[in-house]
């Protein structure tokens, strides 16, 4: 396990956890776009739970690698879905936001397999 892997994984986990908390606390800068994209309000809490579980899984993966891989794959799929949702809602200027969260998770997976 390299230092770069640990740092990138912790950053990815922190970002996913922050994103989950933003949904749980209904931060306007998060829930307003979700409504604009057409994401049903009933999905918001489950989406936050998915991100929180992914964040915990990334951290647990530092000790149990299979958990980190599963969490990383889940978060990559989640944020890829977010990119698709933003594009389908015709908000291409907002694509950078889910990509920003996707990047460290994807990098964590790459670094984990490269080690």
52-93: pLDDT as tens digits: 999 999 999 999 999 999 999 999 999 999 999 999 999 999
3-114 classified as CATH 1.20.120: yes
Each domain of the chain, given as residue ranges in start order, spans 3-114
- pLDDT score of 4: 93
**How far apart are the C-alpha atoms of 75 and 101, rounded to whole Å?**
9
- pLDDT score of 112: 87
- Residue 113 has φ and ψ, to the nearest 5°, of -75, -25
- Residue 95 has φ and ψ, to the nearest 5°, of -60, -30
User: Does residue 36 carry a pLDDT above 80?
Assistant: yes
Which helix (DSSP H) or strand (DSSP E) does residue 8 occupy? helix 3-24
């Amino acid at each position: 396990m390299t230092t770069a892997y640990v740092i990138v994984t912790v950053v990815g986990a922190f970002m996913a956890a922050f994103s989950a908390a933003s949904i749980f606390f209904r931060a306007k800068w998060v829930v307003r776009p979700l409504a604009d994209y057409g994401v049903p309000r009933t999905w918001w809490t489950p989406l936050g739970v998915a991100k929180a579980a992914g964040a915990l899984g990334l951290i647990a993966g530092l000790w149990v690698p299979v958990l980190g891989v599963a969490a990383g794959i889940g978060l990559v799929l989640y944020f890829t879905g977010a990119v698709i949702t933003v594009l389908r809602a015709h908000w291409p200027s907002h694509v950078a936001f889910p990509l920003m969260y996707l990047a460290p998770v994807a990098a964590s997976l790459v670094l984990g397999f490269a080690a």
